[in-house]
Chain A
Amino acid sequence: MKVERRVISVIVQNEHSVLARITSLFAARGYNIETLTVAPIPESDMSRLTIETKGNVRVIEQIIKQLHKLIPTYKVIEHEEMVEKEMVMMKFPINESLANIQALCEAYNGGIANVSSQHIITMVADEPKRVKHFIEAAQRFHPVEIVRGGVVAMERE
């Protein structure tokens, strides 16, 4: 069976050790977590997790059902038609071309986040695939550090 990439959002009761329940479910059943983001949903007692995972159809179906089965899980959204974004921060030495770096970041929906006496820090938020391209393109400016934020997603409608 073909292995595919999936993005799943999980809305959970915001309670003690709920994140551990989810990550240990993935660990125990041998499922993949590529990226994971979590934050409380404003004005509610719920949190939203976005999980980027990989597996064949049967595995993905099991992941969704098993997530559902957890008592604190309110809703599992298996994204079909989604807008997804990932953020990435990169740090470059100050002697690299600020203008070129800035131009590159802008092409990827980002910009310069900070400049100190030693380093330039950039920030880009774009589709995961484009973030990957950005990171590749940025290699020629000799980045010293890269921090990716994990995928977040929203259904289009």
Chain B
Amino acid sequence: MEMTGAQMVIEAMKLEGVDTVFGYPGGAIMNVYDEIYKQNDFRHILTRHEQAAVHAADGYARATGKVGVAFVTSGPGFTNAVTGLATAYMDSVPMVVISGQVPITMIGTDAFQEIDATGISRSCTKHNYLVRSAKELPHILKEAFYIAASGRPGPVHVDIPKDVTAELAKFEYPTHIDLPTYRPTTKGNVRQIKKAAEAICNAKRPVFYLGGGVISSGSADLVREFVQATQIPAVETLMARGSLRHDDPLLLGMVGMHGSYQANMAMSEADLMIALGPRFDDRVTGKLSEFAKHAKVIHVDIDPSSIGKLVDVDYPIVGDLKEVLEVMLPKVKECVDPDRYQAWRNILKRYNEIHPMRFEDSDEVIKPQWVIKRVGEILGDKAIISTDVGQHQMWTAQFYPFSHPRQLVTSGGLGTMGFGFPAAMGVKRGVPDKVSVNFTGDGSILMNIQELVTAVEARLPVVNIILNNHYLGMVRQWQTFFYDKRYAETDLSFQPDFVRLAEACGGVGYRVETKEEFDEALEDAVNKGVVAMIDVIVDREENVLPMVPSGGTLYNMMLEYKD
């Protein structure tokens, strides 16, 4: 069938089963928007900024595991989307972003709203395309979805010149894709897996190091079974939160800069590290030469370039984590004796008794950690939690009782302030029967505050909880610790009235200064079913602890701060 390039885009969305597109129109993509107007297959949600459209698609993808989709126009529309692409790229989120481009005949002339979009997105996407004719569009779109979701997932950018969206061509959507140049290895090498299984059974102090790959490969159930069968303790990275249940006695907590003492000590003293889909980020490892230096390393990852990038690996296994675990688990079960690790578990338990993950609660002022724990008590696994970036993000990771994968949506790799709110809108759209909570800061929330309008209009009742410390708290903390309290440009005492701000856009707002007020506000916000802003005034000077100072060693944590 013949159709225009713009119609092909719509048709492809339908065939890919896309139910939501987040976006923002403009000149170069108007032909596509004209077709959106005529269709009923998917819902388009008009965000109020392109960055928010891409973050919303990202949040949708992280919460559902499906490919997120966003449309933007050329030039500034695209450049606004770049932070969204980079955020998704760093956290391996499957996404397709389609941008308009000036007509092919004008490319290279510095035309109005022309920018070398694929040149810019090359380094922050898994792959990208500049479409040259409508004829190649069906294939490119199919490929884009396939590449985004397969192998190590990631965002794919498709830049479509305006004349291509008007051009007629035959539409034949490929049923499957076979790229001779792109064949991710999914099956792990069986000999390596066997050797790794033996290493596990022979270890004395093994520890699981769970990364984002556990979530993205859908392996959490298998990992839980693995941990249960072996009784080997596990640490989680920020991206892996929810892999194990928060109350699993074998879960040592988060690892890294703001990880728990027992998790970091476990890494430091282990004789075998079973790394399942992490990427050895510097926020996890601290000083590399000291990181897990007594441990032999098993590393399972779908991305060969992840393995051996930063630390030497003794048992490298390239493959899809789920497929690898399906082979590895029975082999380990054959030889494992969970009692073997009892002494090791006792040591770790002792570490946790000495320095548990805790905070000092107060009756005078609300502690930010209390808010997070409280939401956990009230909503628990009825909520999916998004965050912005800063102290509140770390406290969320430390104190929220996560019980299932995809329950935490946070920008880990890029650390993008402004991510949380739009992402939480995407979460709500993708998983409507859960409460979508965004823990945010008084700094971060202002970086996509315009989305209040979107959330009201599109009926995406996100509950934003501002842990308001009147600071760019995380930066302030570093200034306190490492810059002699020279608080350069981090004091946010001057603030908008968040309650009226929410109300001005049609949402609800609450200002909270006591625990009782908080409980009431949360209950009301959840029941109202409209976007909410709960402005919680918290202890200004609270620090995120424990902490491994940047470049320090995991076994040498700062456990408290004394003025």
Query: Interface of A with B (CB < 8 Å)?
Result: 12-13, 16-17, 20-21, 24, 28, 58, 61-62, 65-66, 68-69, 71-74
Give the distance to chain A from B289, nearest Cβ to Cβ, in Å: 13
Contact of A66 among B127, B132, B305 (CB under 8 A): B305
Asked if B122 and A24 make an inter-chain contact with CB atoms under 8 angstroms apart, the answer reads yes
- Report the bound CA distance from A3 to B303 in whole Å: 25
Give the distance to chain B from A57, nearest Cβ to Cβ, in Å: 10
Binary A-proximity of B126-149 (CB < 8 A = 1, otherwise 0):
110010100000000000000100
- Report the bound CA distance from A81 to B181 in whole Å: 25
Which residues in window 294-310 of B have CB below 8 A to A? Answer: 303-305, 308-309
Which residues of chain B are within 8 angstroms of A61 by Cβ–Cβ distance? 308
- Report the bound CA distance from A62 to B180 in whole Å: 22
- Report the bound CA distance from A59 to B118 in whole Å: 27
Asked if A62 and B309 make an inter-chain contact with CB atoms under 8 angstroms apart, the answer reads yes
Asked if A12 and B305 make an inter-chain contact with CB atoms under 8 angstroms apart, the answer reads no
Asked if B181 and A71 make an inter-chain contact with CB atoms under 8 angstroms apart, the answer reads yes
User: Who on chain A is nearest to B181 by CB?
Assistant: A74
Which residues in window 85-142 of B have CB below 8 A to A? Answer: 118-119, 122-123, 126-127, 130, 132
User: Who on chain A is nearest to B129 by CB?
Assistant: A16
Asked if B123 and A28 make an inter-chain contact with CB atoms under 8 angstroms apart, the answer reads yes
Which residues of chain A are within 8 angstroms of B309 by Cβ–Cβ distance? 58, 62, 65
Asked if B122 and A16 make an inter-chain contact with CB atoms under 8 angstroms apart, the answer reads no
- Report the bound CA distance from A73 to B304 in whole Å: 14
Which residues of chain B are within 8 angstroms of A13 by Cβ–Cβ distance? 181
User: Who on chain A is nearest to B184 by CB?
Assistant: A69
Is B488 located at the chain interface by the 8 A CB criterion?
no
Which residues of chain B are within 8 angstroms of A24 by Cβ–Cβ distance? 122-123
Asked if B305 and A74 make an inter-chain contact with CB atoms under 8 angstroms apart, the answer reads no
Asked if A58 and B308 make an inter-chain contact with CB atoms under 8 angstroms apart, the answer reads yes
Is B182 located at the chain interface by the 8 A CB criterion?
yes
Which residues in window 180-213 of B have CB below 8 A to A? Answer: 180-182
Which residues of chain B are within 8 angstroms of A20 by Cβ–Cβ distance? 119, 122
User: Who on chain B is nearest to A11 by CB?
Assistant: B181
Which residues of chain B are within 8 angstroms of A74 by Cβ–Cβ distance? 180-181
Known: A21-B122, A69-B303, A74-B180. 15 other contacts (CB 8 A): A16-B130, A16-B132, A20-B119, A24-B122, A28-B123, A58-B308, A58-B309, A61-B308, A68-B304, A71-B126, A71-B127, A71-B181, A71-B182, A73-B181, A74-B181
User: Who on chain A is nearest to B156 by CB?
Assistant: A71
Which residues of chain B are within 8 angstroms of A16 by Cβ–Cβ distance? 130, 132
- Report the bound CA distance from A103 to B305 in whole Å: 49
- Report the bound CA distance from A66 to B147 in whole Å: 16
Give the distance to chain A from B462, nearest Cβ to Cβ, in Å: 35
Is B354 located at the chain interface by the 8 A CB criterion?
no
Asked if A72 and B123 make an inter-chain contact with CB atoms under 8 angstroms apart, the answer reads no
Classify the interface of chain A: helix, strand, loop or mixed.
helix
Give the distance to chain B from A29, nearest Cβ to Cβ, in Å: 10
Number of residues of chain B lying within 8 A (CB) of chain A: 18
A-B contact pairs, 25 of them (CB 8 A): A12-B181, A13-B181, A16-B130, A16-B132, A17-B118, A17-B122, A17-B130, A20-B122, A58-B308, A62-B305, A62-B309, A65-B304, A65-B305, A65-B309, A66-B305, A69-B303, A69-B304, A69-B305, A71-B126, A71-B127, A71-B147, A71-B181, A71-B182, A74-B180, A74-B181
Which residues of chain B are within 8 angstroms of A28 by Cβ–Cβ distance? 123
Give the distance to chain B from A100, nearest Cβ to Cβ, in Å: 49
Binary A-proximity of B153-183 (CB < 8 A = 1, otherwise 0):
0000000000000000000000000011110
- Report the bound CA distance from A129 to B101 in whole Å: 47
Give the distance to chain A from B307, nearest Cβ to Cβ, in Å: 8
- Report the bound CA distance from A62 to B130 in whole Å: 27
User: Who on chain A is nearest to B118 by CB?
Assistant: A17
User: Who on chain B is nearest to A74 by CB?
Assistant: B181
Contact of B179 among A62, A68, A71 (CB under 8 A): A71
User: Who on chain B is nearest to A73 by CB?
Assistant: B181
Which residues of chain B are within 8 angstroms of A17 by Cβ–Cβ distance? 118, 122, 130
- Report the bound CA distance from A111 to B130 in whole Å: 45
Give the distance to chain A from B226, nearest Cβ to Cβ, in Å: 27
Q: Which 7 A-B pairs have the closest CB atoms?
A: A65-B305, A71-B127, A74-B181, A71-B182, A65-B304, A28-B123, A13-B181
Give the distance to chain A from B181, nearest Cβ to Cβ, in Å: 5
Which residues of chain B are within 8 angstroms of A71 by Cβ–Cβ distance? 126-127, 147, 179, 181-182
Which residues of chain B are within 8 angstroms of A12 by Cβ–Cβ distance? 181
User: Who on chain A is nearest to B310 by CB?
Assistant: A58
Which residues of chain A are within 8 angstroms of B132 by Cβ–Cβ distance? 16
- Report the bound CA distance from A69 to B307 in whole Å: 13
User: Who on chain A is nearest to B182 by CB?
Assistant: A71
Contact of B181 among A62, A66, A72 (CB under 8 A): A72
Give the distance to chain B from A70, nearest Cβ to Cβ, in Å: 8
- Report the bound CA distance from A12 to B182 in whole Å: 11
Binary A-proximity of B266-305 (CB < 8 A = 1, otherwise 0):
0000000000000000000000000000000000000111
Asked if B305 and A68 make an inter-chain contact with CB atoms under 8 angstroms apart, the answer reads yes
Which residues of chain A are within 8 angstroms of B180 by Cβ–Cβ distance? 74
User: Who on chain B is nearest to A25 by CB?
Assistant: B123
- Report the bound CA distance from A109 to B166 in whole Å: 57
Which residues of chain A are within 8 angstroms of B126 by Cβ–Cβ distance? 71
Which residue, A17, A24, A72, A73, has most C-beta atoms of chain B within 10 A? Answer: A17
- Report the bound CA distance from A73 to B181 in whole Å: 5
- Report the bound CA distance from A62 to B306 in whole Å: 9
Which residues of chain A are within 8 angstroms of B119 by Cβ–Cβ distance? 20
User: Who on chain B is nearest to A68 by CB?
Assistant: B304
Which residues of chain A are within 8 angstroms of B123 by Cβ–Cβ distance? 24, 28
Which residue, B122, B126, B132, has most C-beta atoms of chain A within 10 A? Answer: B122
Which residues of chain B are within 8 angstroms of A58 by Cβ–Cβ distance? 308-309
Which residue, B119, B126, B305, has most C-beta atoms of chain A within 10 A? Answer: B305
Which residues of chain B are within 8 angstroms of A73 by Cβ–Cβ distance? 181
- Report the bound CA distance from A16 to B116 in whole Å: 14
- Report the bound CA distance from A20 to B121 in whole Å: 12
Which residues of chain A are within 8 angstroms of B122 by Cβ–Cβ distance? 17, 20-21, 24
Which residues of chain A are within 8 angstroms of B118 by Cβ–Cβ distance? 17
